[in-house]
Structure formats: structure tokens, C-alpha cells
Structure 1
């Protein structure tokens, strides 16, 4: 394309942005609102996934050894646990350590110090698997080992937890898809209204002999610019509001594992900016096509 035509197209784009400022503001605003809502859905999804992963990773197996197993003999059992398929971490808990943990759980007023002379707690192991879903199979194998008295991992609770986290992920994904479809529909509707108001301008250009692509390029670039501006507004507001919200939530609920990693945030913001440009280009291209048929 000759440089003269390229200059004309860019001049026309900026003239149009200035001349139709109200319509363009509405289009950019609609894009910003749609992508902001979509961004909230995406952030909610990755936080739900992080919380679910954290909860699942804390699932552990408590193995209590028989009373006649000495502490020395208990240490010799560790390789047997490590050889079990799926086992990632094996931690020995002596009776004294078990009593300290029990005192920590029950609080200072529990008065368990009197048990230190004749500690009734057995030697025990805390075991974690690489994949939390392998807990059941690992526990069943551990239970068959000689010297093991009792194995606990709250099977019913663990199974319900996995089912719940799976459903939460599925529902979150469905919400993201619905928000994306809603955003596309809203942006497309606003774009159609914008081009309907400018249909005479398009028709005049066609009547004086302009080619389809010569007419289309200014509108396409305009759509890209408006989409980018809308996405930029959405990511800016999302960044400020999410940062404030996570700070307050973590102050109120210190153990809540929210996503605060800047790399995760940059990926989401990059996706939103890309979507803004893409939706702006697609919306403009589809909408202008209707008015090119004169």
C-alpha cells in the first residue's frame, strides 16, 4: 500500500476518534466493563484453584506404630514407608514430640505436662503423597506393614474434599466461559450501534469509488485502538482494586492463600489486553462488512 494511503488511513482514524468521541467513549467503556468483569472471573478462578491446591496438599496420613515398637526400631521402618508408591514426605514423630503437638493443639490450659513422665503416646509417622489423590492407596499399603497399629487420614473427609474442589473448578470454568460470551455479546452490540450511526459515512466512501479494504482499514484500526484503550482501563482498575482487596483479606484472614505473584497477574493482564485488541478488531471487521454492500 502506498505511503500516501497509509498516512490518509491514520489521519482518518484520528479524525474519526475525535469526531465521534461520544460513540467511541461508549465503545471503549463497554469494552472496559466487559473485560473488567471477565478479569474478576479469571482472578476468582485462579484464587479458587490456589486455595483448592493448598487444601489438597495439606492432606496427610498419620501412622501410629504398635506399643512394643521402640523408637530405635521405629526409625528402621522409615525406608519401608519411602518405598511405597506415591509417598513424597515421611516425618517421624516421637512420643515426646507428639505430646508437644497435642499441647499446642489443645492450648496452654490443657495441663498435659503430667503425662511427660509416663507418655502414653506411641511412635508415629506423618506421611504425605506427591499427588493427594494417592492418599487412599498409600494408606491401604501402609496398613499392611508389620509394626503398624493404626492408620488415619479421614477417608470420608478427604473424598468429599476432592469432590468439592473438583466441582468448584468446573463451576469456575463455566462462569469464565459465560462471562467471556457475555463480554463478546456486549462489545459486539455496542460496535454495531456505533457503525449504524456511521453508515452514511461508509456508503459515501463506497459511492466515490473507494475499495472495500480502503474503507475497512480505518475502522479496523479504530476498533483495535478502542479495544486496547478499553482493556487498558480494565486492567488498571482491576490491578488497583485487586491489590487493595487482597491486602485487606490477608490482614483479616492471615492463612488465606491468595494469588499475589506478579507473574500470574501479568499473564492475566496480558490476556485481557490481547482480548481487547482482538475483540475490537473482530467487532469492527464484522460490523463494517454489512455496510460495505451498497
Structure 2
């Protein structure tokens, strides 16, 4: 490709964008709106995954020990728990610490538990975390079979419902994101196809005069890339400013809800939006031209 040909391509791309300004603006608008919806949905999915993972990570098993368990036997029980499949960590909770934790949970009403100081009825226990939340019920059953453990509690009934909910949330998020991606691609490709259709005579004349498919296609390809890039940048600007504003508002009004703030993840999502805009713009132009190149 020589310099004159390159100048011609840039000149044709510029003329096409300015000559069909309203169509170009509508294409950019559709790319922007589509990517905003897609980006916002992706952030929603990421935060939903963060929330469900946080809920699952908080699920733990409390294995209560028999009253007559001594230190030597307790160490043996701890070793057996560590060797149980799917166990990630084990922490011994003496009954004195359990009482203090209970007082903290009572807050201003902690004085109600003062009478328990002399005769603490709480048993020693092990706090057990599993590698996966789905393993909690099976691990709890395995722990109850260990001699010296009276019972293993993890919130039976509630945990199973929680795991079911998080499973369906993940499936719904994945399905929604897939549908939105396909819808965005369809809208953007359709808009670019309209731009190509409006210039079908120009394409036909160039083909009759002997222009190669590549020579005809390249300016349209550049046009699609510019439209996709512009729409992607505008969408990133809106999503980024909107998301940062949402984080600040939630930190003030609902501080216990923590949204995803990891900069690497956020930059990956925003960069992906720009890349997707460019890719769809290029592919939309490429495939939309195929039928008009058959002259």
C-alpha cells in the first residue's frame, strides 16, 4: 500500500463520515447506547458475583466438642478435621472466646450475659471453612462422625437455600449478558448495514470500473472502526462516570453494600467495551459489504 492509496482511503473515509453525518451520528449513538447497556450489565454481573461469593465465603461450620474432651484428644480431633476432604481451614474456639463473641453480638445488651461468666455453658468448638460452599453439608456430616464432636452446625436449611439462589443468580447473569451482547452486536451491525446500503450505487460503480474487493472494502472498514471506536469511547465515559458516582453515593447512603472497586477489573471491562465497539464496527462493515461486492 503506497502513500497515495493511504491518503485516498483516509479522504474517502472522512468524506463518507461527513457526507452521511446524520447516519454516522445515529450509528455512533446506537453503538454508544448498546455498549452502555452492555457495560452496565457486565458491572451488574460482576458485582452480583462478588456479592454471591462474599455470601458463600461467610458460610462456615461450627463443630461443638463434648465436655469431656481434653487437650490431647482435641489435637487429635483437629488433625482429623484437617484431613477431611474439602476442608480449607480449621480454627479452635475455646468457650471463653465464644462467650466474648456472643457478648459482642449482643451489643448494648451484653450485661444480660454477665451471669454466665462463672458457669460458662458454651462448649469448646472448631470453626471450619470449606474450599467450596457447596461442600458444607457433606463436610458437616463427615465431622459429626468424628469421635469427640457432639454436633456440627452450619445453618441447615438456610445454607441450602442460599446455595440454590446463588446458583440461579449466576445462570441468570450469564444468560442476560449473552443476550445483551448478541442484541448489541445485531443493532450495531444493522446500523452499519444501512450506511453501506445507502452507498450501494457508489460501490457498484467502483466495481464496474475495475476496483478490487479489498480496495472497495478498506474505506468502509475504516469507517466502521471509527464509528465503533467513537461509540465505545463515549460509552466508556458514561459508564465510568456513572459507576464512580454510584459508588460514592452508596458509600454515603448504604455503606454496608460494597461494590467492586478493583481498578484492574474495571479497566478490563472498560477496555473490553472499546475493543468490542471497534470489533463490531469492523465486522459489521466487512460482512455488510459482501452482497454489494457481487457485481
TM-score range, shorter chain: over 0.9
Partner of 1:120: 121
Partner of 1:8: 8
Partner of 1:160: 161
Distance 1:289 1:80 in 2: 67
How far did 1:76 drift? 5.3
Secondary structure in structure 1 of the residue aligned to 2:90: strand
Deviates more, 1:189-198 or 1:263-272: 189-198
Distance 2:67 2:252 in 1: 44
Partner of 2:98: 98
Matching of residues 155-234 of structure 1 within 5 Å: 155-234=156-235
Distance 1:36 1:214 in 2: 33
Per-residue CA deviations over 1:18-54 (Å, capped at 9, x if unaligned) read 2222211111111111111111111111111111111
Partner of 2:27: 27
How far did 1:71 drift? 6.0
Runs of 4+ aligned structure 1 residues displaced above 4 Å come to 70-73
Name stretches of at least 5 consecutive residues in structure 1 with no aligned partner.
none
Per-residue CA deviations over 1:245-294 (Å, capped at 9, x if unaligned) read 12222333333342110111111122211211111111112222333334
Q: Is the 8 A contact 2:232 2:273 kept in 1?
A: yes
Secondary structure in structure 1 of the residue aligned to 2:289: helix
How far did 1:72 drift? 7.0
Q: Could you say if the C-alpha distance between residues 160 and 59 of structure 1 is closer, same or farther in structure 2, counting changes exceeding 3 Å?
A: same
Distance 1:234 1:100 in 2: 51
How far did 1:8 drift? 1.0
Q: Is the 8 A contact 1:74 1:123 kept in 2?
A: no
How far did 1:117 drift? 1.0
Partner of 1:258: 259
1:56 and 2:56 are equivalent in the alignment = yes
Deviates more, 1:107-116 or 1:177-186: 107-116
Q: Is the 8 A contact 2:77 2:146 kept in 1?
A: no
Secondary structure in structure 1 of the residue aligned to 2:255: coil
**TM-score normalised to structure 1 length:** 0.93
1:240 and 2:241 are equivalent in the alignment = yes
How far did 1:192 drift? 2.1
Distance 1:69 1:253 in 2: 45
**TM-score normalised to structure 2 length:** 0.93
Distance 1:82 1:253 in 2: 38
Per-residue CA deviations over 1:83-112 (Å, capped at 9, x if unaligned) read 222212111111211111111222222411
Q: Is the 8 A contact 2:64 2:150 kept in 1?
A: yes
Deviates more, 1:151-160 or 1:164-173: 151-160
The Cα RMSD (Å) is 1.8
Secondary structure in structure 1 of the residue aligned to 2:157: helix
Distance 1:70 1:96 in 2: 16
